[in-house]
Chain A
Amino acid sequence: DTEVTQTPKHLVMGMTNKKSLKCEQHMGHRAMYWYKQKAKKPPELMFVYSYEKLSINESVPSRFSPECPNSSLLNLHLHALQPEDSALYLCASSQEAGATYDEQYFGPGTRLTVT
């Protein structure tokens, strides 16, 4: 199974709502990633988890809160978002962050709209 799944596919939320994005992989990968992608732009790295510990936080606002409950799951908790946070949120996983030629497998993404 070389699949990364993400739920929900689409999410519309108000600026006062709290919601969560979920990501799951069963490839035994020990690194998981959250990216934000705006239209017609490349993905921007937000967070990296390595062995279930947060290893990179790319200065992301605190209204985004990642969580890695176990080696297969990655969540992104959302609270008090702004309209400019509307984007495609991509989850990815890889065998081990930093390993030579380590390739990332991407999920289909969650299309988030903040109203």
Chain B
Amino acid sequence: AQSVTQLDSHVSVSEGTPVLLRCNYSSSYSPSLFWYVQHPNKGLQLLLKYTSAATLVKGINGFEAEFKKSETSFHLTKPSAHMSDAAEYFCVVSSTTSGTYKYIFGTGTRLKVLA
């Protein structure tokens, strides 16, 4: 069965410093992986997705993630944090079990950006 683990519930960084949000997955086959961001009282916005075309995936707003099969990881990074990056981030793996398809969400990482 597919699962995803976000290793940090909270991350704090200073504005202008790098961001690293960690995600490990479990999947019996090549996974579909996604990162979403949710600002307070808003819906979820797709940052990027892994499509197997490349292990380094570039997303919106300067975010990128690297798929490492050997480490079963899909960590999200950004070179320089901006105040507007403060939000909740969800790592997601898609799952198809017994003919049904759904997203499996991580528990989320709250990113705080300090001025």
Contacts and interface: CB of A to CB of B under 8 A. Distances in A.
B90 interface: yes
B44 A106 contact: yes
A102 B33 CA distance: 10
Interface bin, chain A:
20 to 34
Interface bin, chain B:
20 to 34
A90 B43 contact: yes
B102 A103 contact: no
A45 B103 contact: yes
Nearest to B50: A101
A54 B69 CA distance: 35
Contact of A107 (B36, B43, B90, B94): B43
A42 B94 contact: no
B107 interface: yes
Contacts of B63: none
B102 A42 contact: no
Interface string A89-105: 01010000110111111
Contact of B32 (A92, A102, A108): A102
17 contacts: A41-B107, A41-B108, A42-B107, A45-B103, A48-B101, A55-B100, A90-B43, A101-B50, A101-B94, A102-B32, A103-B34, A104-B103, A106-B43, A106-B44, A107-B43, A108-B43, A109-B41
Interface of A: 4, 6, 40-43, 45, 48, 55-56, 88, 90, 92, 97-98, 100-109, 111
